[in-house]
Structure 1
Amino acid sequence: MKLVIQSRSGREVVPGGVQVDDGATVRDLMQAFHKLRPKYYPSRQRFSLAPKAGEKRGVALVPGKKLSDFDLRDGSVLTFKDLGPQIGYQTVFFWEYFGPLLVYAAFYLFPEVFYPSFKSIPTKSPVQTLALAYWSFHYAKRVAETYLVHRFSHGTMPLFNLFKNCSYYWGFAAYVSYFVNHPLYTAPSVQRAQIALGLAVVCQLSNFWCHRILANLRPPGSTEYKIPRGFLFNYITCANYTMETWGWILFGVATQTLSAFLFILAGFTQMSLWALAKHRRLRKLFDGKDGRPKYPRRWVIFPPFI
């Protein structure tokens, strides 16, 4: 069958359309389109059905499905959108997490480079060393999870996200480390730091277990949503974000720095937006109608407030 491919403005992208087999999948369509338009490799393509009356945009075609699943026939019209240059999720995650490992440690190990106005650098306090250990543990865990735990429903993201995400993580790593490792830093009690960071490690291990649960919800490449169950997910929709938040709150308590709490505030704000969106999506998908399960009553991210 031959499919008509148009831009969102209605311009025909491929004169004459794209020829595919009747039993072709969405991925087959992407490969065929790529041969005709080599610039647009499959991961930067998105095809959608024509929007229905009253809709602003049509249903997007899912790569894992057949074209027949969307009731496409010979002469059907699809809308094409160029998603722009893409980069793999694992690559982005690696650099956004590996960078803070190096950046934070650099301020600790080479203070003469970052604090040149000080002729002599005081000996590091145990709290500063504990803070480095926790920070390194957290981001080493993140890197390991990227390759050993996480399953991505999409293989790529826009290339711009690499620079945006790295700017956030690397920038905050420098900001926090600059003040925690400053020669004039006044450390709180070692005992408080040990207790706080010990609890923070427990939060990070809980966060890891939450990620394991999420990874096992669906097979690789699947976009099907399921209700997370088990451990803290029985009470909180985004329990992984909850544990992440508490881990960094405890880091702020241990280091007693404003920069650490600003880092927490920025991260929690973004995670809350993601969590609220996911909570709404799950409640809409699992509405208890037509045989679908009903999403249970849960906190979103931060009991007892959100």
Structure 2
Amino acid sequence: MASETKSSESPPQVSACFSPVLVSSVAYLGSIVFYLLAFYLREFPKVPFPAVGCLLASDGDFGEWTSAGYVLMALWCFHYMRRFVEVLFVHEYKRRMGYVECFGAQIYYWVFGFWVGLSLRPDMGYINTYLPLFIVGSLLFFVGEVGNGVSHLQLRSLRSNKNNHLLCQTKSQHVVPRGLMFELVSCPHYLFEIISWIGFSLATWALSVVVFLAASVLTLCIYSYQKHKAYRTEFDGAEGRELYPPNRKALIPFVF
């Protein structure tokens, strides 16, 4: 939403004083840094299973692939480098962030980055045990990455092309997103991010990644519901406003 105009007599709002570009950039780069620290830090105390290691027992056909941790590290770093680039060149932020939101983001991404990096270390006992799941999970991860990036570019296009005849613009300058997965759900970028982490979970079978997936699903379900509700409230079909597509769901096509 657009920022509210403050009167000269209003007290300064110190609770929302951080640039979202700075906060998100530090969070995403920090996730990479903490992952790498956890992965390469030597003389680290031994952490017991299942906090580290692969949860899936070997079927005897695949054997032991200790190099999988390095491939998974590349996938993690790719995701957050892409997110960092999007923060700088794709996303548009309309509000500043408060202390809780700012420091909460750093803790969330840094702690999970460290735990995931630690849990996928070969010298900590991580051995990927099932090649078919690794391949399927990695492919699903890239499907999610492409879908997430394309959805973000679509949102960027909506903001930069407000006069497109396919869009309905309101006084708030908001438009109804259209095209591709936006025809089915209000937040396809959230859906594809979940797909990325489902793929990463299938490829890793690590407890840290499963917990991270659960936290991501919960968070993005809440965000998508709030965004979907806001769309339906604003585009209610009254006073000449467009009616938000009634069959469009918040996050999962035809379901939620």
Aligned amino acid, residue 203 of structure 1: G
User: Does 2:13 align with 1:83?
Assistant: yes
Q: Aligned residue for 2:129?
A: 188
Shift of 1:124: 7.4
TM-score by length of 1: 0.68
CA deviation map 1:61-92 (0-9, x unaligned): 844xxx9xxxxxxxxx9983542151211100
* Equivalent residues in 2 for 1:97-176, closer than 5 Å: 97-110=28-41, 112-115=42-45, 125-154=66-95, 156-176=96-116
Structure with the bigger percentage of strand: 1
The number of residue pairs the alignment matches comes to 228
Structure 2 unaligned runs (5+)? 49-63, 162-170
Shift of 1:256: 0.6
Calculate the aligned-residue CA RMSD, in Å. 2.7
Kept in 1: contact 2:248–2:254 (CA 8 A): no
Task: Note closer, same or farther for the CA distance 1:291–1:273 as it changes in structure 2 (3 Å cut).
Answer: same
Structure with the bigger percentage of helix: 2
Kept in 2: contact 1:196–1:254 (CA 8 A): yes
Q: Please, which moves more after superposition, 124-133 or 246-255?
A: 124-133
User: Does 2:241 align with 1:301?
Assistant: no
Report the identity percentage: 25
SS in 1 for 2:158: coil
SS in 1 for 2:97: strand
SS in 2 for 1:237: coil
Task: Note closer, same or farther for the CA distance 1:263–1:117 as it changes in structure 2 (3 Å cut).
Answer: closer
CA distance in 1, matches of 2:251, 2:3: 31
CA deviation map 1:24-61 (0-9, x unaligned): xxxxxxxxxxxxxxxxxxxxxxxxxxxxxxxxxxxx98
Kindly name which structure, 1 or 2, has the bigger radius of gyration based on alpha carbons.
1
CA distance in 1, matches of 2:150, 2:11: 37
Q: Aligned residue for 1:282?
A: 231
Shift of 1:274: 1.1
Kept in 1: contact 2:68–2:127 (CA 8 A): no
CA deviation map 1:196-216 (0-9, x unaligned): 112211211110110011122
TM-score by length of 2: 0.80
CA deviation map 1:213-270 (0-9, x unaligned): 11222259x9622111112111111000000001001100100112211101111111
SS in 2 for 1:114: coil
